[in-house]
Amino acid sequence: MRAELLAVGDELLYGDIVNGNAAWLGGQLADVGVQVSTSIVVGDVIADIATAIVAALDRADAVVLTGGLGPTQDDLTREGIAQAAGVGLHRDAAEEATLRRRFEEMGRSRAGSGGRGVPEMNFRQADLPVGAQALPNVPGTAPGIRMEIGSGVVYAMPGVPFEMKDMFTRSVLPDILRRAGEPAVVVHRVLRTAGMWESMVAEALADEVTRLEPLGNPRIAFLASGGQTRVRITARAADRLAAQELIAPVEAAARVALGPGLYGVDDDSLEKVVLDLLGARGATLAVAESMTGGLLAGRLTDVPGASAVLRGGVVAYATEVKSSALGVDPAILETVGAVSPETAVAMAAGVRERLGATYGLATTGVAGPDEQEGKPVGTLHVGLAGPDGATTRTVRLPGDRRRVREFAVVQALDVLRRVLTGVAAAGDFGPWVPTGPR
């Protein structure tokens, strides 16, 4: 089975937006073993859309198209498909009725009015090439299109990413797999790790990858970004349950191999996991930041409802603010310096006490571009103070200022996670130095 990607839109051609849909679709198709040999972008021109479809179907079995399905004059994908197939357009009565109902639900038209007041142009979205089937757009309005041309097929989806992803997963991918004679359901499972580099994760799972390689299903992929590594397990099967049964033993083996590096699955985020761990214990948190300069608090407050657990934080950027606002002993700053495990612990203890939190979490280090106190760029000391004592972890992070600061946030959250879950002693990359009774 060979597929080609086709995206329609002047805004893609002229760089106003990046073609992220193609990247996502390419990854999805690769995961299920569909070969993607070409990805094309054309502008809002009927002839260009039609020519690209005909050329693509000459090389491949399926064209997966995004964009150009909206209501305005420059949305011309419907016309392009019709021209490629040599047919006309007709207004689909069922789709038009669905649109009128949707506009009422969205409050764009008075309930029971049959969509009155919505500009007529919007109902262009119910036009279909003769012989095409509509694909349901659950989160949006414009339906997708499935059109057989010769022995090939064109699937057209909206360009809006969340509408496209829903339609692809719901309608397009199952149809592609059915045509390919492949089992029709694809299930992903994502395992999320923190405190492990991609190479460590790959090494931990090397045996499982080797075992699965000749089978081809399930597949394992490693995805690293923002200082975290994800493991994606993808299975194809006749139904959802069978796919989950294929994933289960791989996930079980991966969980053992990843050990305490695993913090969550699927859409979990490290900051949410940490806040939930604290919340479940009735505990609160305060943060003290030097190296991360507010990014750690910023990440935690990204989570709606963080205020139930996070009391607040202090960004102690100037050295003397570490003493005045956090109570760090000036003698520590003078003797071992602001970038030290001792300062990290004192910052954590200080913010814990001053903001009245169960735990205090602190970062100090060297983000670059220049070294500081003779300590190299990438040096990070995390300090953690709790009701029973305090501890630190020291690591050396790679990358430029932006990456070092981003990685430091993940490291700090991971230190707290490991202490809260009691796996701290497993420390994958540096010993723990208890600095008080626990």
Residues of this chain that interact with a copy of itself (CB under 8 A) are: 5, 12-20, 22-28, 30, 36-43, 45, 48, 52, 55, 287, 289, 292-302, 304, 306-307, 310-318, 321, 324-325, 354-356, 367-370, 401-402, 405
Q: How far is the CB of 48 from a copy of itself (least distance, A)?
A: 6
Helix (H) or strand (E) holding 346: helix 341-354
Q: How far is the CB of 202 from a copy of itself (least distance, A)?
A: 14
Q: How far is the CB of 248 from a copy of itself (least distance, A)?
A: 26
Q: In whole angstroms, what is the distance from residue 349 CA to residue 342 CA?
A: 11
Q: In whole angstroms, what is the distance from residue 129 CA to residue 79 CA?
A: 7
**Bridge partners, residue 135, by sequence:** 144
Q: How far is the CB of 347 from a copy of itself (least distance, A)?
A: 11
Backbone angles phi, psi at 184, to 5 degrees: -90, -5
Q: How far is the CB of 422 from a copy of itself (least distance, A)?
A: 27
User: 162: closest CA among 24, 65, 44?
Assistant: 24
Give me the DSSP letters along 211-238: HHTTT-SSEEEEEEETTEEEEEEEEEES
User: Which CB atom, from 224 or from 248, has the smaller least distance to a copy of itself?
Assistant: 224
Q: How far is the CB of 256 from a copy of itself (least distance, A)?
A: 27
What is the CB neighbour count within 10 angstroms for residue 305? 10
User: 194: closest CA among 232, 249, 231?
Assistant: 231
**Which class for 414: exposed (0-12), middle (13-18), buried (19 or more C-beta within 10 A)?**
buried
Q: How far is the CB of 238 from a copy of itself (least distance, A)?
A: 25
User: Which CB atom, from 15 or from 387, has the smaller least distance to a copy of itself?
Assistant: 15
Side-chain half-sphere exposure of 352, counting CA atoms within 13 A: 20
Backbone angles phi, psi at 286, to 5 degrees: -135, 145
User: 264: closest CA among 193, 198, 187, 205?
Assistant: 193
User: Which CB atom, from 141 or from 363, has the smaller least distance to a copy of itself?
Assistant: 363
User: Which CB atom, from 53 or from 132, has the smaller least distance to a copy of itself?
Assistant: 53
**Which class for 250: exposed (0-12), middle (13-18), buried (19 or more C-beta within 10 A)?**
buried
User: Which CB atom, from 296 or from 385, has the smaller least distance to a copy of itself?
Assistant: 296
User: Which CB atom, from 99 or from 164, has the smaller least distance to a copy of itself?
Assistant: 164
User: 314: closest CA among 284, 282, 283, 348?
Assistant: 348
Backbone angles phi, psi at 45, to 5 degrees: -135, 120
User: Which CB atom, from 47 or from 256, has the smaller least distance to a copy of itself?
Assistant: 47
Q: How far is the CB of 178 from a copy of itself (least distance, A)?
A: 22
Q: How far is the CB of 7 from a copy of itself (least distance, A)?
A: 9
User: Which CB atom, from 244 or from 301, has the smaller least distance to a copy of itself?
Assistant: 301
User: Which CB atom, from 169 or from 324, has the smaller least distance to a copy of itself?
Assistant: 324
Q: In whole angstroms, what is the distance from residue 136 CA to residue 291 CA?
A: 49
Query: Are 22 and 39 spatial neighbours (Cβ–Cβ below 8 Å)?
Result: yes
Q: In whole angstroms, what is the distance from residue 220 CA to residue 231 CA?
A: 7
Q: How far is the CB of 324 from a copy of itself (least distance, A)?
A: 7
User: Which CB atom, from 12 or from 63, has the smaller least distance to a copy of itself?
Assistant: 12
User: Which CB atom, from 183 or from 313, has the smaller least distance to a copy of itself?
Assistant: 313
Query: Are 407 and 400 spatial neighbours (Cβ–Cβ below 8 Å)?
Result: no
